[in-house]
Amino acid sequence: MRRLLIALLAVLLTACDPSAAETLLRVRIQVDGQELALSVSPPISVGQVLRRANVTLGAFDRLNPPDFTPVTDGMVITIVRVENRAECVDESVPYASETLKTPDLPEGVTRVLQGGVNGLARVCYDVLLEDGVERRRTQSSRTIITQPINQVVAVGVDLSRLEPIPISGAIFYISNGQARVIRETSLNQVTLPTGGNLDGFVFSVSPDGRRLLYTRKPESPSLDVFNELWVLMDTADPNAQPVKLIVDNVFYAEWLPDRPNAFSYSTLRPRTEPPAYQALNDLFVAQLDAAGKIIKAEPLLPPTDSGMYSQWGTHFAWSPDGKQLAWAQAEGVGLVDLQRGALRKLIDFRIYQTTLARGWLWQPSLAWSADGAILAAAVHGAPLGTEPPENSPVFDLAVVNTAANFVINPFAERVGMWSAPQFSPLVRTESGAIRGSIAYLQARTPNDSVNSEYDLVIADRDGSNPRVVFPSRDQVGIVPFEDRTRGAKFQWNADGTQIVLVYQGDLHVVDVNSGRATRITVEGSALSPRWMK
């Protein structure tokens, strides 16, 4: 209203002065939903007119014509008020639905194992308004406040498609984040009462097959808890209740072969950078009571950051008699001096750095012979040509006679990084001789073993007479890269006549002599098989 009065006053003054009317310029200003009319004396610019009319421009306002433009008679000056502001709103994040195949239900029958819960996200926008009207809205950030919880639906599968075969002992494995076991026959499969979210870092069955030690991801994501350590004290009891141990953030855990209810473990510290943890490279031995409660824990190795890329951790493996403990890091293999609490290196090699850009680091796999006399390991080999040693595509098998401190490297050449050697049990032949074998995976393309398909090879214990037993050359090879969980990708049965392995997502039992393979699961998500007596 004040601006209109000023304009009217200007018009009235002009009307009182006839001589001035002949030289004044008539101007209209369109701003804030109003139009101001006034007359001004030339020469004068648009900016000067706005100042005389007490019209102020904001930092982002658009002026037409520009402020330095000379005013002409009848000119219309328009101002568009432009405002940029930030707005944040909370939006629902829909949950997804996961379908898990299970033989625990009849074919086609479904059951909701976990109800879905929507999450919450805070979404912020940069909003552009012109004269109070929104013209553009651009998302500037989106922060998840609460993660959605996926709905998990189990659907029954038809086990009748499987060929029933007898199973000696029990085969334990992980499927869809749950622990499962097969006993007596391939059609007798049940889910163990471990709960879900098994991460595969720890999946250790006691030598008698009764107790299961495993790690789970926490139900609610936490920056402080990477995983949780649990124990099932009786795998044969369908009503057994899992026990959460007081140890969180576990890198490795394994039952001691010679001490009932005792296990060793090492820990880690969660972090946001790859590999999402910082291994502490410590080692403890814990003792459980009959109820699964830790009654004492003794340190064997102090925390250490020795070795390159030590944050990726140290792997351990007890000999079958519990007298020796092997270790493996990205640059070597050796034994733990249990008296001094130190690592003694037996085999040294360069770290394989090529996959670091992918956010992971290759580390050796370990295997003891049944009598604890020989330690086998996959090792990074020497360069093929002029490439740097840390980029060599060569991965061999090496063995160590630990009593004589005698190393054979290579024991088998260019087998590939996922060779995962495993010694068979020792068996007595009809002539009374003691014999054993070694099994390993052989890369079909050794120079690209990280992505290669593999064959299962059986050789005499000394490495002689190697032969491929599975699969045939006209079949797709084994792809161990798809299962990068800890531990064996395959295991022998108690008498050394069969091997269980993961092939195309399911467990297969392979007859060592004939090479005939029988598929024994149908979920398509099998991991980490363990075949116990």
Q: 447: which residues sit within 8 A by CB, 6+ positions away?
A: 384, 393
The domain locations on the chain are: 2-80, 84-151, 197-305
C-alpha span between 39 and 24 (Å, rounded): 6
If you search the block for the tokens 């009065």, which residue do you land on?
Answer: 5
pLDDT at residue 219, as a whole number: 83
Other CB atoms within a 10 A radius of the CB of residue 269 amount to 14
Instruction: Return the exposure string of 77-94: e unless at least 16 CB atoms fall within 10 Å of the residue's CB, then b.
Output: bebebbeeeeeeeeeebe
User: Do the beta carbons of residue 449 and residue 393 sit within 8 Å?
Assistant: yes
Q: What span, in angstroms and rounded, lies between the C-alpha atoms of 488 and 473?
A: 23
- pLDDT at residue number 272: 86
The answer to whether 44 touches 70, Cβ cutoff 8 Å, is yes
- Letter for the amino acid at 250? V
The CATH architecture to which 2-80 belongs is Roll (3.10)
Q: Give me the pLDDT at residue 524, please.
A: 87
Three-state secondary-structure class, residue 296: strand
For 35, other C-beta atoms within 10 Å of its C-beta total: 14
The pLDDT, as a whole number, for residue 275 is 85
pTM of the model: 0.77
Label the pairing between strands 366-368 and 374-380: antiparallel
Here the tokens at position 484 are: 């990068």
Q: Token pair 């395959």 is at which residue?
A: 490
pLDDT at res. 22: 59
Supply 400's token pair.
Answer: 């160590």
Give me 353's structure tokens: 């750095």
Tokens found for residue 332: 């070597």
Pick the CATH number of 84-151 from 3.20.20.370, 3.90.180.10, 1.20.140.10, 2.20.230.10: 2.20.230.10
Whole-angstrom CA distances from 39 to 13, 36, 53 are 10, 10, 11
Distances (CA, A) of 43 to 14, 49, 73, 514, 532: 16, 11, 11, 106, 101
pLDDT of residue 488: 57
Counted residue by residue, the chain has a size of: 533
* pLDDT tens-place values along the chain, 533 residues long: 444 444 433 443 344 444 444 589 999 999 999 999 999 999 999 999 999 999 999 989 999 999 999 999 999 999 999 999 999 999 999 999 988 888 888 888 998 988 999 999 999 999 999 999 999 999 999 999 998 989 989 888 887 778 899 999 999 999 988 999 999 999 999 999 998 889 999 999 999 999 999 999 998 778 899 999 999 999 999 899 999 999 999 999 999 999 999 999 999 999 888 888 999 999 999 999 999 999 999 999 999 876 668 889 999 999 999 999 999 999 999 999 999 999 999 999 999 998 888 888 999 999 999 999 999 999 999 999 999 999 999 999 999 999 888 999 999 999 999 999 999 998 877 777 788 999 999 999 999 999 999 999 999 998 999 999 999 999 999 988 655 555 557 999 999 999 999 999 999 999 999 999 999 998 888 999 999 98
